[in-house]
Amino acid sequence: MLTAEQIMTPNVYTIHPDATIQQAISMLLDKRISGLPVIDDSGTLVGVLTEYGLLAMVYDKQIMNNTVAQHMTREVISVEANEPVNHVADQFILHRVRRLPVIRQGKLIGLISRVDVLRALCEAQAPVCSA
């Protein structure tokens, strides 16, 4: 069975907790991404910041200089690198998230999207998913 690490996207864009909300918004827009894992100096995943979460903040100019740490989601749903893909799929279904950070010993090593899991499961069952 495939694992999370085998289907993840490595080398993802991240942001530091001390970055400003303005910097986070700029990064999302510049890189055309919808979320940022927040990692500390040691590479440990400490939160996540999403475009959805930033929508309400863009109206309040005072918040733009706040830090990411002040507004990130701290309770991050993630998967371990060695978790089987079917367990990863269960997490997407259960929690209704768009992406899952992949960690090893608390350190971020990649990101998995719903389409990554769908592709992996279909490729494993090629006759079922072929057009």
From first to last of its 131 residues, the chain has per-residue pLDDT tens of 899 999 999 999 999 999 999 999 999 999 999 899 999 999 999 999 988 888 877 777 788 889 999 999 999 999 999 999 999 999 999 999 889 999 999 999 999 999 999 988 888 776 666 55
pLDDT confidence of residue 38 = 97
Q: What span, in angstroms and rounded, lies between the C-alpha atoms of 31 and 17? A: 18
CATH architecture of 4-126: Roll (3.10)
pLDDT confidence of residue 124 = 76
pLDDT confidence of residue 128 = 60
Tracing tokens 């060695």 back to the chain, one arrives at: 82
Q: What span, in angstroms and rounded, lies between the C-alpha atoms of 97 and 61? A: 28
In Å, how far are 88, 91, 127 from 37, measured between CA atoms? 18, 17, 36
